[in-house]
Chains A and B, each alone.
Chain A
């Protein structure tokens, strides 16, 4: 039975709540003429089905992140999952989800010109840094530990990453989403990034994730986890850094299906100039998922009067034998910490910058192993010098 993992589930027994309508915008869109065959008939049949669904949707209107129009680049030739077999296609179908928006998930499925299908059976380390405007990646972690770092630096990007982490397997995932200024040949195309990641985890799997968002006029991320097994450990740490008029709009979602799993989403970031972050978190614990522990938090540090933060940290709980919590805060840089550093002889500005940099220190150190530490350092230098 193929089904889409819906992000919002507003029902309980015979009771229902109203799910707000999806608001849309009119924009020039691709047509069936933009479909480029992959040469893999099975895959193309699947892509045509996705295209049929794609054409039924208009583009979404996002009030909070300010997506009111979209200008698309030309479609290149298809290059992503052309080597996929029937088993891989079944896996693709089993990992269907809504993402940042259903339209964008289908877009990356149909028009991707970069991407890979990877099966991991033993400890593997991968750094992927070549991404086109549309990317589609599928990973089946059958055993061992996959260490994967993705460095996406683009002015326009719409991508999907689907991962199945099977029993006893492990995943360490780093995603760096860096919005770039529009380059030659891309003028007139929206400065927009939409990245959707969906992970299904099975019994006793261990998952650690660190995401980093910087730049791009609108930089949107969806990270969904279906914890479909027992004793799963999932620790997700989103970081964001925004300046100028950048908007970072991120949604982290975990749904617990079975018992005794642990899930944590701990998000933090810094906002400068007129930037804005929208953080949405959903921890959804289904009935029967006993002894689950789920935590979620977002801490935003604002270093400019004109910066803005919006947080919607949600808990949805259908099982009482759980520990579920969330927390959110927003504040300027801690005065006491600044004062302490100033008593050690550094200026107020230097003290503030040191505190801001400290927020990203652990991320930087871990990225050093993938030679990607400089990405975060560059971003910090551009914001706080």
Chain B
């Protein structure tokens, strides 16, 4: 291991070594079979229709082949993944009731402090279950439902049946089927017609068991004319064995609604992060994905928007960071179906210390999507020449009345940029850090202020440990 890589690992360890020592209430053995799935369902005391959904999904999983694209997954042995770890903590909306050892870990991540200061509501998931979910009283009175998805299955079965795994069905691919069988934890958020949520809602996912898999499911419905911002954060301590995250997000943006979905992913470097994120936008709706991908060993995630309604809009802003040993395969999908639909993609990546960032995107303008406009921009910043940066966008245009533009650039920080900043008194490291921060500015400016500071600090640390 070279010195800068060693420094990087030490820094990461120092920063994110969460002292998580929580004995689970229940930990199923590794492996995948129907008996385990029945056990998960029983542990959650689920209705029969959900048990049936799990079993059907598992049967589909057994028939599906591995997707024949994306990151190599030879090291991912699904038979060695622990599918369900129930924390020894009851669900609560009172932070004081969260067990001390879990509270310490979340405290380090600043979750309760964030809730007090600038969030409308917070959810916290530890291993396979949401252990805390709270929303401000005044928002509850407006009819907003912000609960964990297990509770939604029991309290709002009709809503769940209407939306759960309808946008991402178990037949979508092998990992969607696996998710359908093993899902646990996650968020159910419903914003009623016309309600504009003034502050963001957030869920935070923390992983505390070696060899475990996290399969949380998120369903968000923004009803007509509503507006909401949702933030998702992910962290885990590093273990010597592979961990797996197969989260699934389904977002329904109804007529005239606006939804912004922010993700800050900082999984540890032993994590296979294979996520599925999909939104459908009805007439005049606006869907915005903002993604920061910093952690994990290997990632495959491509937030998708289906612009079904006329005049609907999708914006997709992302920054991915591939450091030593990381293979970050991210991108975006936008499918224009309605007329006069608009979309933008601004995908930025940073490759450093031998990391590999790969942009993979699909933009499709359907035959009926007349007068649509779309632009895709990919920019790769390579901090050194040990790293790799690739972009492979697929653009399909099936009508003649739309304007589509795409551009991509890959390059390094120019010497004259560093020289200019150094002539103003900055060190070389500070200059590079400043340029990188400027590069990720489009993502930073979408974040709440406190998060933006945190992200800048994270970038400083990554840069310092990779090239310092």
Contacts and interface: CB of A to CB of B under 8 A. Distances in A.
Nearest to B401: A332
Given A12-B388, A20-B69, A316-B390, A325 B412 contact: no
Given A287-B385, A314-B392, A15 B410 contact: no
Contact of A317 (B72, B380, B403, B404): B380
Given A305-B400, A332-B401, A322 B71 contact: no
Contacts of A287: 385-386
Contact of A329 (B71, B386, B406): B406
Given A18-B71, A20-B69, A327 B358 contact: no
23 contacts: A13-B356, A15-B356, A16-B71, A17-B327, A21-B68, A287-B385, A288-B385, A300-B397, A303-B400, A305-B399, A305-B400, A311-B406, A312-B393, A314-B392, A314-B393, A315-B391, A315-B408, A317-B388, A321-B385, A322-B412, A324-B409, A328-B404, A328-B406
B216 interface: no
Contact residues of A: prevailing secondary structure: strand
A290 B384 CA distance: 12
B225 interface: no
Nearest to A323: B411
A20 B68 contact: yes
Main SS class of interface, B? strand
Interface in B364-415: 380, 382-412
B233 interface: no
Given A315-B391, A320-B385, A329-B406, A15 B401 contact: no
B72 A324 contact: no
B397 A320 contact: no
Interface string A320-363: 11111111111110000000000000000000000000000000
Contacts of A12: 327, 354, 356, 388
A92 interface: no
Contacts of A168: none
A304 interface: yes
Given A16-B72, A326-B407, A332-B400, A317 B393 contact: no
A304 B399 CA distance: 8
Contacts of B398: 308
B329 interface: yes
A313 interface: yes
Contacts of B403: 329-331
Given A12-B356, A302-B399, 4 more contacts: A324-B409, A329-B406, A330-B402, A332-B400
Nearest to A64: B396
Contacts, number: 136
**Nearest 3 pairs of A and B residues by beta carbon:** A320-B382, A302-B400, A320-B412
Nearest to B412: A320
A105 interface: no
A317 B382 contact: yes
A231 to B, nearest CB: 20
Contacts of B402: 330-331
A316 B410 CA distance: 9
Interface in A1-58: 12-13, 15-18, 20-21
B172 to A, nearest CB: 18
A252 to B, nearest CB: 15
A12 to B, nearest CB: 4
A129 interface: no
Interface range, B side = 35 or more
A285 to B, nearest CB: 8
A309 interface: yes
B329 A17 contact: yes
B70 interface: yes
Nearest to A272: B400
B390 A314 contact: yes
Interface string B167-206: 0000000000000000000000000000000000000000
A306 B401 CA distance: 10
Given A17-B358, A317-B389, A307 B69 contact: no
Interface in B190-246: none
A349 B401 CA distance: 17
Interface in A285-303: 287-288, 290, 300, 302-303
Given A12-B388, A321-B385, A332-B401, A313 B406 contact: yes
Interface string B87-99: 0000000000000
A310 interface: yes
B72 A17 contact: yes
Interface residue range, chain A: 35 or more
A63 to B, nearest CB: 12
B410 A324 contact: yes
Most buried by B among A314, A319, A320, A323: A320
Contact of A330 (B67, B73, B387, B397): B397
A306 B397 CA distance: 10
Interface in A244-262: none
A97 B383 CA distance: 32
A320 B408 contact: no
Contacts of A304: 400
B412 A321 contact: yes
A318 interface: yes
Contacts of B325: 15
Contacts of B387: 318, 320
Nearest to B354: A13
Contact of A313 (B69, B380, B385, B393): B393
B408 A331 contact: no
A200 B14 CA distance: 50
A305 B369 CA distance: 11
B309 to A, nearest CB: 21
Contacts of A15: 71-72, 325, 327, 356
A314 B391 contact: yes
Contacts of B392: 312, 314
Interface string B304-338: 00000000000000000000010101000000000
A328 B382 CA distance: 22
A332 B400 CA distance: 6
A310 B395 contact: yes
B70 A17 contact: yes
Contact of A324 (B356, B383, B411): B411
Interface in B405-442: 405-412
Nearest to A318: B388
Contacts of A315: 380, 389-391, 408, 410
A322 B406 CA distance: 20
Given A15-B72, A331-B403, A332-B400, A322 B329 contact: no
